Amino acid sequence: MTDSSPKGKTLGMVLKGYPRISETFISNEIRLLEEMGFTIHIYSMRAPRENFTHDSIKSIKAKVTYLPSSMILGLPALLWYNLRLFFRRPGRYWRCLKLMKTRFRLAPKKHTWLKHMLQAGYIMQKSVLDQGVDLGHIHGHFAHTPTTVTMYAAALADVPFSFTAHAKDIYTQDPRRIEDKIDLAKFVVTCTRYNEGYLSRFSKNGKPIHCVYHGINLDLFSPNGRTTGATKPYQILTVARFVEKKGLDTILHALARLRDAGLEFHYTLVGEGKSGFNRTLRALITELGLDDVMTLPGTITHDEVIRLLGNADCFTLGCREASDGDRDGIPNVVAEAMATGVPVVATDVSGVPELVEHESTGLLCPANDPKALAVILQRMLTDQTLRAQVIPAARDKVHAVFDNKKLIHDLGDIYLAHGVPCER
């Protein structure tokens, strides 16, 4: 592709939070884009909530500006920088206020949209004008609030913007807001063909929507050698946030069926959620009598996830469409399991079948069906001929379509084609 990008300018990247333990794919993307020659400045809408990070964060050179996240505690700073910006760039500021007014009627929470406008003014005054960050383009990760801030910041800085749409951010907001953002953006990126098809319905005048899988670092994963060596008690693994769309209750009910049928296994469930969901999940575990065959280590590092994959006989997810419309794309941990030689048993929701092909690179069943999930779990654990076929095919599939080094270069080429600044 032709490189039409301006030299010497910075790519601003607006994130909900940075760093986040559950968003390894974003830190890997930033690191690899830097290796390609992009100069990146991160704008994080809130401070990190975890007390540890993945090792990949250490390799990132991008500076980070943390935006005031509270309208109460952050209001003095937000007002100070926005008032200064208004008097310095009144024309642009009024145009941005008009843009906000056109979208204000669509906002479910009016005060948050005012905050997003003020956060964008904070970026423009403090980072661009005071600190001299020479923005050439701004990109938002997630199509909801980060892209709203991105859109306003781009208007104030008079630069183009784009955004990456993932999962919840697509399906839980008013489609009119998605349509509006696509119309104003220079281009859009998303991480599954399923998402691409959905978003294309809201693209006016052929606005480009590019599908680029997140990918994983394949250098970190090697076969665990359990292709035909699954023995009792079988080691079953799930890594997921404790939220409705992950279908963890479906998994637990399926496991209870297998336990009642006499299958010997141990189940490790990695992750955490909000306190109410955690209590509900633990109550269900006790109700089903699974306490003695389960381990719940909570949130762990990526290195520890890799270690658990090395001892797993099967990885399972019960993904579903949540009551608010939320659903997964392709969880990266599914690809990580496949790359490690851990066969995947999951539900056929959203983009999952793009990687886990039934009877070829894994086994799938409908969502919300514990009986069906139990059947394919038992089959994957006990049918050694099936395992011998699926495991190498799954690794081949991941290496063919989910190599993050190749995919980030594809993404970089998309950025370059749309004039995003790069030094290469």
Domains of the chain: total: 2
192, pLDDT greater than 90: yes
Judge if 60 and 203 occupy the same domain.
yes
DSSP structural state of residue 131: T
Residue 1 belongs to some domain of the structure: no
Residue 114 near residue 137 (C-beta atoms within 8 A): no
Residue 298 belongs to some domain of the structure: yes
Judge if 328 and 411 occupy the same domain.
no
4, pLDDT greater than 60: no
Judge if 76 and 52 occupy the same domain.
yes
Residue 305 belongs to some domain of the structure: yes
Which one is predicted more confidently, 111 or 363?
A: 363
Residue 195 belongs to some domain of the structure: yes
**pLDDT for residue 99:** 87
Chain CA centroid to CA 287, Å:
32
Orientation angle between helical segments 110-122 and 75-88, nearest 10 degrees: 60
Judge if 59 and 181 occupy the same domain.
yes
DSSP structural state of residue 130: I
151, pLDDT greater than 80: yes
Distance CA 268, CA 273 (A): 16
229, pLDDT greater than 70: no
CATH of the domain at 296: 3.40.50.2000
**pLDDT for residue 156:** 97
The residue among 113, 132, 167, 134 whose CA lies nearest residue 12 is 134
3, pLDDT greater than 60: no
Which one is predicted more confidently, 197 or 109?
A: 197
CA angle 116, 120, 121 (to 5 degrees): 120
Judge if 316 and 377 occupy the same domain.
yes
Residue 4 belongs to some domain of the structure: no
**pLDDT for residue 223:** 82
Residue 3 belongs to some domain of the structure: no
Judge if 59 and 184 occupy the same domain.
yes
Residue 357 belongs to some domain of the structure: yes
**pLDDT for residue 1:** 42
Chain CA centroid to CA 395, Å:
22
Handedness of CA 339, 346, 323, 300 (dihedral sign): negative
Confidence of residue 230 (pLDDT cuts 50, 70, 90): confident
The 10s digit of each residue's pLDDT in 41-74 is 999 998 887 665 556 677 899 999 999 998 889 9
Distance CA 203, CA 417 (A): 19
Judge if 240 and 196 occupy the same domain.
no
Distance CA 201, CA 165 (A): 14
Judge if 255 and 127 occupy the same domain.
no
Confidence of residue 25 (pLDDT cuts 50, 70, 90): confident
The 10s digit of each residue's pLDDT in 116-133 is 999 999 999 999 999 999
Among 22-36, 50-64, 255-269, 357-371, whose mean pLDDT is lowest? Answer: 50-64
Confidence of residue 6 (pLDDT cuts 50, 70, 90): low
**pLDDT for residue 2:** 44
SS3 for 43? strand
78, pLDDT greater than 90: yes
Judge if 397 and 408 occupy the same domain.
no
Is this model's pTM higher than 0.95 or not? no
The 10s digit of each residue's pLDDT in 82-97 is 999 999 999 999 999 9
Residue 4 backbone phi and psi in degrees, to 5: -110, 20
Please state whether the peptide bond connecting residue 421 to the residue before it is cis, i.e. omega within 30 degrees of 0. Answer: no
Residue 422 belongs to some domain of the structure: no
Range of the domain at 327: 218-401
Judge if 209 and 230 occupy the same domain.
no
In the sheet that holds 63-66, the strands lie side by side as 63-66, 40-44, 10-15, 135-141, 161-165, 187-190, 209-211
163, pLDDT greater than 70: yes
Judge if 189 and 231 occupy the same domain.
no
Average pLDDT, rounded, for the chain: 91
Q: Taking residues 184-188, what's their average pLDDT?
A: 96
Percentage of the residues of the chain whose pLDDT score is greater than 90: 75
Judge if 383 and 412 occupy the same domain.
no
